[in-house]
Amino acid sequence: MPCVEARLYSTVCPKCEAKMVELQNKRAGCMKCCLKTNQE
């Protein structure tokens, strides 16, 4: 059985590992620590 990466980097906050939500203009934001990043 192949290994499966459980962490989805585009939807998990790199700072606190909480789930990130999609914002406008290809950006994502974390509701827990308020980090905002580009999804590119």
pTM: 0.60
Strand partners, 36: 29
pLDDT tens, 1-40? 566 555 555 688 889 989 999 888 888 999 999 999 886 6
How many Cβ atoms sit within 10 Å of the Cβ of residue 40? 5
The pLDDT score that the predictor gives to residue 29 is: 93
Side chain identity at 34, as an amino acid letter? C
pLDDT by residue (tens digit) across 30-39?
999 999 988 6
Which parts of 1-40 are beta strand (E)? 20-23, 27-30, 36-38
